[in-house]
Amino acid sequence: MKISNVNIYGFNESVRAAKFPKSVNIGTITDELTDGIEKLAESPIGSGHDNWLNGVIVQFDLTASLKFWPQFQRYHFADFVSSQSTMHRILGFDISRQCNEYVTNKAIENLVECINAYNNNSTEDNYLTVLYNIPSGFELTARITTSYRQLKTMYNQRKTHRLPEWRKFCKWIKGLLHSELITGEES
């Protein structure tokens, strides 16, 4: 797994907006992260009191295995800006470079053989054989947009997950600006 090109937007603006409910004059509100705003971020998932974390937008490029992506996609609040495609480019990838360390050489050789068979005889069946023999450890990159609130849910649900990519992802979360608002732990 690899995470790169990370950008965080709207942190100060969201801190300021979190103060709206208890303000009479919004012109005097600052973007100082106060104890009260931190307490809101620590509210239990689903309580709604941590809603200001929705305004803290995080964008990043995430490279992960085919085993990871279906689990990640169940979080409907992580938008895919764009992603690599096996349907469009499987024949052009350097297979050994796209696979993580858990894919066996035998599996890589098998996929390369399937691609060679397709290149020698470009039938639909041969193409489908290529697609259905891509190992789960084949990695693709996608540009993701999400928020601190959604990362809070992911972190709490996946920090001890059996798949090492989830643990690595959660470790990355702990490195974000004010990650204690996401993890509930001191960074």
Q: What is the pLDDT of residue 48?
A: 83
Closest by CA position to 151, among listed 164, 167, 124, 170:
170
Mean pLDDT of 8-14: 97
Listed by start position, the domains of the chain span: 2-58+147-183, 89-131
pLDDT at 75: 82
Gap between the Cα atoms of 98 and 119, Å rounded: 19
User: Three-class SS of residue 8?
Assistant: strand
Would you list the DSSP string of 58-120?
EEEEEEEETTHHHHHHT-TTSEEEEE--HHHHGGGS-HHHHB-TTS-HHHHHHHHHHHHHHHH
Cβ 149 vs Cβ 50: under 8 Å: yes
The pLDDT score that the predictor gives to residue 80 is 87
pLDDT band at residue 45 using 50, 70 and 90 as cut-offs: confident
Residue 57 above 80 pLDDT? yes
Strand partners, 83: 142
Mean pLDDT within 114-141:
97
Terminal Cα-to-Cα distance of the chain (whole angstroms)? 22
pTM of the model: 0.88
Q: State the average pLDDT for the chain.
A: 94
